[in-house]
Amino acid sequence: MSSTSAPAAKQETDSGDCLNSGGGDRLNLMAAAAPPRTQQGSPDTQLSMAAYLGELVLSNDIKVFVAETAGSTLVNIMKKGNKEAREAALKALNQISSYESSAKILIEVGILPPLITDLFTVGSNQLPMRLKEVSATILANVVASGARFESIPLDHNRQTLVSEDIVHNLLHLISNTGPAIECKLLQVFVGLTDSPTTVQNIVEAIKSSGAIVSLIQFVEAPQREVRMAAIKLLKNISPFMGQELADAFRGNFSQLSSLVRVIADNNGISEEQAAAAGLVADLPMQDSVLTRRLLQDGAFATIISKVVRIRQGEIRGGRFVNPFLEGLVRIVSRITFVLDDDPDIIAVAREYNLTALFTDLLQMNGLDVVQIVSATALEKLSHQSKVLTRILPAPSPGFCFSIFPCLSQKSVATGVCRVHHGICSAWFFSGEKLEMS
C-alpha cells in the first residue's frame, strides 16, 4: 500500500464504498493503515483517524494490531486531549477492548488509570454521562480479559483496581448513576469476583462499606441486564457473605421473591436462572425464617416441579442445566434442615414426597453435588421417620371375631414398616398403595 498523499486520498474514498458495501477485507486494510498515521500525525490527524477507527467494524486480529500500534496513542489522547478528541479515542478504545487479547494489550499500555480518572472525576472537568458510560464499558471489557488486577498499580500510591478505596468509590458510583453505567460497573464486579485472586478483596470492601443492602436492590431492577449482572455478582460473593445476604433479604422479602420469580421463568434455562438458584442455595440452610418465606411464596412447589421435569427430560437447558439443577436441589434440601422446628415443614416433606425425590436424585451419576446433597437430605429425613410415618388405623375385627376370637386371624397390612408399624416415609412418598390381608 503506497504512503503517498494521492493514494491515501484514494484509499479514504474507497473506504466509504467499503463501509457501504460491507467489504470486510478492505476495511481491515484501512484499519491497518490507520495506526501509524495516528501515532505520527498532527493532533488533527490523530483525531480524525481515532474517530475513523471508532466507526469501523474491526475483526479480532485487527483489534490486536491496532492495540499494539496505536493503543498507547489513544490512551494518551484520553489523558490530554480535548473533549472532542477524548470522545473519539474512547469510541475507538471501546471497540478495541472488546476482544480479550487486545484488551490485555491496552492494560499494558496504561489504560486503567485514565479510565478510573474519567469515572471518578466530578465538577467542571468531568465527562458527560454518555462518555462515562463508554468508559464504564471499556472498564468492563478489560476486566473480562482476566488480567491480574491486584498487581496493576493505578497511581503512585500503588493503589489497584481492587484496593478498598477504589472499590468503595465504584460502589458509590453504582448507586448514583443511571442504569447503563450501573450495568457496566456491576459487570466489572462480576469479573473481579470471578477471579479467586481478587474476590476476597471485593468481599472485604463490600463488607466494610455496608453496600450489600444497596446491591441486592438491583435484583428488582426492571432492566434485565442490570438484574442479571447484580444476581451474578451476588452469587459470586454468596459463599463468603451468606449470613449478610440472609440478613439483607430478611429486611426486604420482596427481593427474595424476585429471585424466586427469576428461577420460576419457563423460557428454557438461562444463565440468570442458574445464578439465581445458586444464590438462594447459598443462603444459610438453618435459617428457618427464610425457609418459611420460601414456603409462603410457593417456591418449593415451583422448584420441585422443575427438578422433576429436568429429571424426566422435559426441560433442557444446555450448559446451564447442571448448575441450575444443583442449585434447585440444594434449595429443596433446606426443608430437611428445619424438620424439628415446624410441623408445617414436616407436612411439606410429606406432601412433596421428598424421600422418593431425593432417592431418585441419588441415582444421577456424574452430578456429585446433586448426589451428595440428596444423600445428606435422606439422612436428615431418616431422623424424622417416626414423625413422617403414617400409622394405619386398626382394622375392624368383624362380628365373628368378636364372638369367636380364637377362630379368626388379625388382618395384616402388607408393606407396613416393621420398625415403625405404619406407612414409612419412603413408601408413603413413593405413593405405593397398601393392601390388607
CATH number, domain with residue 43: 1.25.10.10
* Gap between the Cα atoms of 366 and 351, Å rounded: 29
Higher pLDDT: 326 or 37? It is 326
Reference 432, options 404, 413, 419; nearest CA is 413
Report whether pLDDT(16) > 90.
no
Q: Answer yes or no: is 393 within a domain.
A: yes
* Confidence category of residue 275, pLDDT binned at 50, 70, 90: very high
Residue bearing cell 431418585:
360
Q: Answer yes or no: is 56 within a domain.
A: yes
Higher pLDDT: 192 or 8? It is 192
Q: Answer yes or no: is 76 within a domain.
A: yes
* Confidence category of residue 435, pLDDT binned at 50, 70, 90: very low
Which residues share a beta bridge with 414? Answer: 435
Q: Answer yes or no: is 64 within a domain.
A: yes
* Gap between the Cα atoms of 393 and 371, Å rounded: 36
Mean pLDDT over each residue of the chain, to the nearest integer: 83
Tell me the per-residue pLDDT of 20-42, one tens digit each, with 9 for 90 and over.
Answer: 334 555 455 455 445 555 555 67
Write down which residue in 85, 117, 147 finishes a domain.
147
Q: Answer yes or no: is 246 within a domain.
A: no
Average the pLDDT over 176-184 and give the result: 94
Reference 107, options 131, 62, 138; nearest CA is 138
Domain span including residue 425: 389-437
Q: Residue-wise over 29-52: b if at least 16 C-beta within 10 A, else e?
A: bbbbbbbebbbeeeeeebbbbbbb
Q: Answer yes or no: is 11 within a domain.
A: yes
Domain count, the chain: 2
* Rg of the chain over all Cα atoms, to the nearest angstrom: 31
Assigned C-alpha cell, 309: 421435569
Write down which residue in 147, 176, 198 finishes a domain.
147
pLDDT of residue 52: 82
Assigned C-alpha cell, 211: 453496600
Evaluate whether 283 touches 242 at the Cβ level (below 8 Å): yes
Report whether pLDDT(96) > 50.
yes
Q: Answer yes or no: is 48 within a domain.
A: yes
Write down which residue in 126, 147, 168 finishes a domain.
147
Report whether pLDDT(7) > 60.
no
Tell me the per-residue pLDDT of 335-366, one tens digit each, with 9 for 90 and over.
Answer: 999 887 677 888 888 888 899 999 999 999 88
Report whether pLDDT(257) > 80.
yes
pLDDT of residue 433: 38
Q: Answer yes or no: is 132 within a domain.
A: yes
